[in-house]
Every structure is written in C-alpha cells, then in structure tokens.
Amino acid sequence: MKLETERLILRQFEEADFERVFLIDSDPEVMKYIGVPPLTDINESKEVIQMIRKQYEENGVGRLAVVEKESGLVVGWSGLKLLTKAVNGYQNVLELGYRFVPESWGKGYATESGKASLDYGFHELNAEVIYAYAHSEHEASNHILRKLGFQKTSEFEEPDGICFWYELKREKFIK
C-alpha cells in the first residue's frame, strides 16, 4: 500500500525506518498527549515497527510512514488502524491517527496525509465511518480533526486525561 500527495509519500514501514521512528517517539513534546512515555531505547522503535508490520498482515491496514518528497526523510506517520482493542467502547473500527517530528509541525502534513488516508479508507476499503480521538488539551490535533471534517461525538477518560472522540461518515467526507 502506497499513497501519494503533492508533497508526501505514505508507505508501509520498513525495518530501516527505526531511527526516524525513534526520533519521533522519543521526543517528549511529540508524546505529550499520547498517554505513553517517550521511548528511551532505540530498540523499542524496532519493536514498534514490527508491531505495525504485523497489523498490515493481520488486519490489512496499519499506520504508514510519511516521507517528505523534498527531503526523502520519514517525517512522521499517518493513516488508518483497525482498533482491535476497545477504545471508548468501539472495537474493530477504523481509526485515523498521525504523529510527526516537531520540525514538520505547522506545514499541513497531518491534514494532507489525513485526507489521503481518509480517501483510501472510504474509497478503497469501503468504510462507512472512520473514527479518531485526541486528548482534550491537544489543540493542534483537535483542530486538524475538525479541519478534516470529523465531528466530535463524545468524550472519554484515559489515564492522562479527557479525550475527545470523533467520527466522520463517508457522505460527509470532502476530498
């Protein structure tokens, strides 16, 4: 699976991506609203990639590495994931997520990659609805989800605070 936008390539993770994944997931600012501590050992990023690659095999979908065309670097990840464990009472549904290195924040990459992922989910996977959630205090992520057309439908509590739950129905998706 490979998606392409004007500035980005979204592709499956490769084992060689572990250093860039560590750069993202070890940054305290990136991980601030995620609910898990930043990675401290580069080998943990290899395990993250193995877990995602296993999701491709088992679920036919998983987060994708986001490569900036201009630099050729993995600047984050984005995409759909099948929630196999219940979140806010929802299970076995598609959920959109993204995470980027701080240097790429504010460039519109989350929105650009999110649109490509949603288009794939609605038109290739034939999803009727796609879900997303973000920590209530994470203003940037909540803004991006609303910009993508998601509607907040509920709130739920995680160990690190309140999260907003969003949904986007296929007929409301604007490419």
Q: pLDDT tens-digit profile of 16-45?
A: 999 999 999 999 999 999 988 999 999 999
Q: pLDDT tens-digit profile of 64-98?
A: 999 999 999 999 999 999 999 999 999 999 999 99
Which residue in 125, 109, 118 sits closest to 65, CA to CA? 109
At residue 35, the pLDDT reads 85
Q: Which residue has the higher pLDDT, 146 or 36?
A: 146
What is the rounded average pLDDT of the residues 124-137? 97
Query: Does the structure show a pLDDT above 90 at 1?
Result: no
Question: Which structural domains are found in the chain, ordered by start?
Answer: 2-172 (3.40.630.30)
Indicate the burial class of 31 (C-beta count within 10 angstroms; 0-12, 13-18, 19 or more): middle
CA distance 142 to 164: 8
Contacts 24+ apart (CB under 8 A), 43-52: 45/18, 45/19, 45/21, 46/15, 46/18, 48/21, 49/13, 49/14, 49/15, 49/17, 49/18, 49/21, 50/15, 52/13
At residue 8, the pLDDT reads 98
